[in-house]
Structure 1
Amino acid sequence: MSQIQESYTGQSGILYTTQEVLQEDETPPRRVCSSHDNAGRKYILKYIPEVNYSYLEKEIYGRLREDAKNVRIIEDAIPDKSMFVFKYFRSHFLGLVQQKNLPLDVTKTILKQALLGIAEMHDKEIVHSDIKADNILVDWEDGRGEIAIDQVKIADLEDAAYVPPNTAIVGKQAGNYMWRSPEAHASGPIGKPSDIFSFAIVMIYALSKRIIFHVTDEELDGGKLERIAIVIERQMSFFGEWQSTNEFIGDHLAPDNPYGQVFLITRDGFGLGTPRNPFRLSNSFDDDFKDLVVNMTDFNPAKRITAREALQHKWFNGV
């Protein structure tokens, strides 16, 4: 991170002064800065490529503005610089889980509020397509050694899409490989169930502090193995029940999908010498949690429960 001091005036008339460049990339162009206004309130300024600016402003944030309480929406805009202004949050969930030993009730509160954000998006036919732990923002206070949650928001909607009913995103390997659904690895079709699968992986991370689809360089065996192939094998091992796997391969993947053979070979590679390791049989989690996750990660996207249905699961009772 580098220090930088520049001033921009938003559509609201508020003057924002930047403090640090938090992230900067050239391809694709990306710049994220922390800033403050004259009253000392903190914000995030995010450069949006001009080709995406209008679509995100109108079709994504415009649809969410009135009803999304658990999605971080635009606070202000700087059109001539192609920038959106967002509220600053203290932490993202990825780091908070690593830094703190969160009590189970606090973890459930954060997860439920984040899931509410996904439900709000899905209610408006918006698919996030990049659900991961660091795209969940948390404002919290630490009083007398106890964490009090103020706000939880789903953030970073740059890859989100308005997907009307009976349509899907195709031809796009969406999201980070560690959180992707099987269909996202296969470049679609991606829809609301893809977000649900990814969020289930976030939930497992929240309780275990492990990203179960993270693949180290050592596991690649000097380049002999492909990272995505390892992830697909793990996904099928944990969640690929026979019937749903066959439905996914036969009904969900187009005949000419180049990843079809990868899934077929992986499926047929399990047997006595290479047994599956179903998540539903894990001894590391309680039965209610396993039931919820299994219903969110069915290999057949059509069988996954919705965000609203997941919110009603008994694992969230009392939250």
Structure 2
Amino acid sequence: MLSLRSLSFLAVCSCRSWTYLNLATPRLTNCKPALPRIPAIVQTTLHRNTSTMSSAPVDSKGYIGQSGCHYSIERVLQEETFPLRRVYFATASNQKFILKYVHEVNFKDLQDINNRLRGGANYVRLVNDTIPEKSMFVFRYFADHLLRLVQKDLPLAVTKRILKDALRGIAELHDQDIVHTDIKPDNVLIDWKEHQSGIVIEQVQLGDLEDAAHIPPGSHMIGKQTGNWMWRSPEAHARGPVNKPSDIFSFALVCIYAVHKRVIFAVGEEELNEGVEPLAVVIERQISYFADEDGLSGFLKHLGDNPWVPIFEVTRDGFNKDNPRRPFSLWEGVDEDFKNLICAMTNFDPGKRITAREALAHKWFEDA
């Protein structure tokens, strides 16, 4: 296992990355997935109702969008104090909206991303309006997200429908050479209703494009550790090269969470020996669950002259008869079609992962 010292020179964790540090599920200790349960990460989210008013004062009773629409601020949903950024719940003409501050540096980039998708995206939440003087975007309000809704023990058919629609959103992005870079369950937005017959899904869209990037063919994103550390691809941990396959790897982890209620790369403090980084455990698990010899070799070639290569090599060489790999393909209690889909999306060699469109055509999604 890599030590804290081994990883510190790579500056592996940003401030944002540590938000889930204490919200982990127990480490997998054998090939059997644990019986479904509510992970601590979800329990914490459930207790933190996003519709509850923040203690922060609202700095305005309303804003006027570029469209001329008047948005009445009802409450503060989220707040970051440094730098000061707020997310508001607002209403206009009896409709619900989210007003979200985006850093001025990213304002035009996000506008460009939305313009590229305009008219051709049905499964991606796009900007409804803008408030340029406040560097705010206006989005349609969704009542829930997958991170929380999964805890209702959804029928498999409903879960498949949600995942397939989210995957359609990824495909719409990738068709325009846009990479989301932050695929995770709470970015899968859902409107649903409960009927006598059960939960009915009304709409699913992929949200939170603030970190999305247009990456032209033949190019890659390098130098940024994109996304949340529990849902990142191996190459995203290594700061690139990142492209569409990175979204696919992350989406596979979302699928595992949705179907088996397992946040498989969450790491609890009780699991760490002194001086060991959580990210070292994550990388070990990624190799253990998803890397074979060919995939890992292709991955290291993909990284090229990258300072993270020795980290993955040392971790690879740490497996032995006392610390064997535990491939996902051998996990018990997992549907074989689902295994096949996940393994195709998590091939350690990014160049060999299936695409979003190929995943949509997979047998596991046939009845969704």
Q: TM-score range by the shorter chain?
A: over 0.9
Correspondence for 1:253: 303
Within a 5 Å distance, the mapping from 1:27-106 to structure 2 comes to 27-37=82-92, 39-58=93-112, 60-98=113-151, 100-106=152-158
Correspondence for 1:317: 366
Q: CA offsets, 1:41-87, max 9 Å, x none?
A: 110000011111011102x1010111010000001111111110000
Letter of the structure 2 residue corresponding to residue 128 of structure 1: H
Deviation at 1:287, TM superposition (A): 0.3
Q: Which runs of 4+ in 1 moved over 3 A?
A: 26-29
In 2: Cα distance, 1:245 partner to 1:65 partner: 38
Secondary structure in structure 1 of the residue aligned to 2:170? helix
Q: CA offsets, 1:18-61, max 9 Å, x none?
A: 11211111345432111101x22110000011111011102x10
Within a 5 Å distance, the mapping from 1:87-236 to structure 2 comes to 87-98=140-151, 100-144=152-196, 146-222=198-274, 224-236=275-287
Q: Is the 8 A contact 1:34 1:43 kept in 2?
A: yes
Q: Taking structure 2 as the reference length, what is the TM-score of the superposition?
A: 0.83
Q: Matched residues, percent identical?
A: 55
Q: Is the 8 A contact 1:29 1:49 kept in 2?
A: no
In 1: Cα distance, 2:278 partner to 2:326 partner: 19
Q: Which runs of 5+ in 1 are unaligned?
A: none
Q: CA offsets, 1:93-113, max 9 Å, x none?
A: 101112x11000000000000
Letter of the structure 2 residue corresponding to residue 268 of structure 1: D
Secondary structure in structure 2 of the residue aligned to 1:225? coil
Correspondence for 1:282: 331
In 1: Cα distance, 2:84 partner to 2:230 partner: 23
Q: Which runs of 5+ in 2 are unaligned?
A: 1-52
In 2: Cα distance, 1:33 partner to 1:236 partner: 40
In 1: Cα distance, 2:168 partner to 2:85 partner: 28
Q: Taking structure 1 as the reference length, what is the TM-score of the superposition?
A: 0.96
Deviation at 1:220, TM superposition (A): 2.1
**Higher relative contact order, chain-length normalized (CA < 8 Å, sep 6+):** 2
